Amino acid sequence: MEKKVTLEDIVSLAKRRGFVYPSSEIYGGLSGVYDYGPLGVKLKHNIQNLWWNSFVSAWDDMYPTDSAILGPEKVFEASGHLAGFKDPMVVCSNCHSQFRADHVEGDKCPHCGKTATLGEPRQFNMMLQTQLGAVEGEGQTAYLRPETAQGIFTNFKNVLDSFSPDIPFGIAQIGKSFRNEISPRDFLFRMREMEMMEIEYFVHPDKWEEAFEEWRVGIKTFFGKVGLPEKMVHEHEIEEAERAHYSKRTIDFEFDYPFGQKELMGLAYRGDYDLSNHQKVAGKSMEYQPKDGSQPFIPHVVEPSFGLDRLVLAVLVASYATDEQGGEKRVFLKLPAEIAPVKVAVFPLLKNKPELVKKAREVYEMQKKELGAVMWDDNGNIGKRYRRQDEIGTPYCVTVDFDSLQNDDVTVRDRDSTLQERVKISDLLEKLQ
C-alpha cells in the first residue's frame, strides 16, 4: 500500500535532486522566496511550454505580451489594488509575530505557542513598493506587479491598434508577480515572489458565460496533460463576499495538496472592471469598435489565472510514488514524459570499460540530437543510477552492456513498471519517441 506523500517528502526530494532550493540559503534564506535548480527549471519550462502550446500557439485569436514587472502608482490605483488588495493581519502580543487573521485558530500564537492577545485584525496591503530615481525624496514611487494581468489591460489598446483582432480574442502572458504575503508558507504554495500564467480573454458583454464554460473545460483538459488526476482537482464556486474586488464570478480549481484541499488556480469573470477603470483614470478610450460599424463597447473579460509554482508543486505531489523493488523502498516521480526534465538516461554498464563507454556515448549522442533532454550517467552502480533517475521522473533508462557490443542492441527500462526489454539500437529512437 502506497503511503501518502507529505510536504516534507516533496521539499526534501526537491532540494536533494536539484528541483527547488530555498533562496539565498547560505545567508539563512528569505521567507516565501525560492530558487529553481537545474531540474526544476526544466520541469517548470516544460509545464510552461505545454501551457503555451495549449492556450497560445494552438489558438488563432491569442496574442502574447511580456509587459514590465514595475508599474507606476496610477496603474494600481485604477486596478483597485492600492485600495483593495489587502489581507487581515493580527499581531501576537507576546512575540510580535504577524499572521494572516484567517491562518490563526483560537488565541494561541502559531509562532511562540503561548496564549496571546492577537487583537482586532487590521488591513495590510500586500503590494510591494519601491522608489525609482537616484535623488532621495524626488524619486517616483513604483510597484512590483501583484498580478501580470494589469500589463495586459494597459496594453489592450496597443494590441487593438497593431492587430485589429476580431472579438473574442485573448492576450496571454507568463511572468513574475510579487505579493508581500503576511505569512508565506507551504513551500511553493504561498510565496512572495511567484510566477503566473494568465490570459485575459476579451468577449462581447453578452457572451461571457459561453467563454467561461469553454475555459472551464480547457483548464480541466490541461490538468490532465500535466498529470493531475481528476479526483485530486475540485471546483469551488466562490461566494460573492469571498471574491476578489474585481470579480463578478470566480471558480477556484482546488488541488489535494498534502496540507489540504487548496486553491491551485482561478477562473474569474472580471466584467469590464479593469478596462473601465483604466479608461477613467488614464483618460484614454478602452472601447472596441466592431468592424460591422455597430456601437463601440468596452469588452468584458474572462480570466484563467494559473500560478505556475502552485502548479509545479501539484505536479510533484501528484507524481510522487513509492513501491518496493527487490525488498527495498523506491521513490519515483510518475511524470508525464512531455514534462519530465530528463526524457532518457543513457548508461554504460561499467565506466571503466572503454569499449562500453564508447558504444554508450554513440547511443547517447544519437538520442540527444533527436530528443534533447537526454542525460549521461555513469556514476555508481546500475541500481543507484536507476534510483536517481526514478526520483527525478526519467521515463526510460538505456543501458549499454557487453551484449550490446555483439548484437547492436541495448536494455531499455521503463520507470513505472521497471520492466526491461532488449531493443535494437537502430529501433531505439522510434521506441523512445
Nearer to ligand GAP, 143 or 396 (CB): 143
- Amino acid in position 333: L
Nearer to ligand GAP, 10 or 410 (CB): 10
Closest residue to ligand GAP in the complex (CB): 307
Rg (CA), the chain: 25
CB of 198 to ligand GAP, least distance (A): 6
CB of 49 to ligand GAP, least distance (A): 18
Nearer to ligand GAP, 178 or 364 (CB): 178
Nearer to ligand GAP, 194 or 357 (CB): 194
CB of 200 to ligand GAP, least distance (A): 9
CB of 269 to ligand GAP, least distance (A): 12
**Using CA atoms, how far apart are residues 231 and 351, in angstroms rounded to an integer?**
44
- Point out which residues bind ligand GAP (CB under 6 A): 147, 149, 179, 181, 190-191, 194, 196, 198, 263-266, 303, 305, 307, 309-310
CB of 251 to ligand GAP, least distance (A): 11
Nearer to ligand GAP, 198 or 401 (CB): 198
Nearer to ligand GAP, 302 or 345 (CB): 302
Nearer to ligand GAP, 34 or 347 (CB): 34
CB of 236 to ligand GAP, least distance (A): 11
CB of 112 to ligand GAP, least distance (A): 24
CB of 67 to ligand GAP, least distance (A): 13
**Using CA atoms, how far apart are residues 325 and 285, in angstroms rounded to an integer?**
65
**Total residues found in the chain within this entry:** 433
Nearer to ligand GAP, 310 or 415 (CB): 310
Parallel/antiparallel/unpaired status of strands 374-376 and 344-348:
parallel
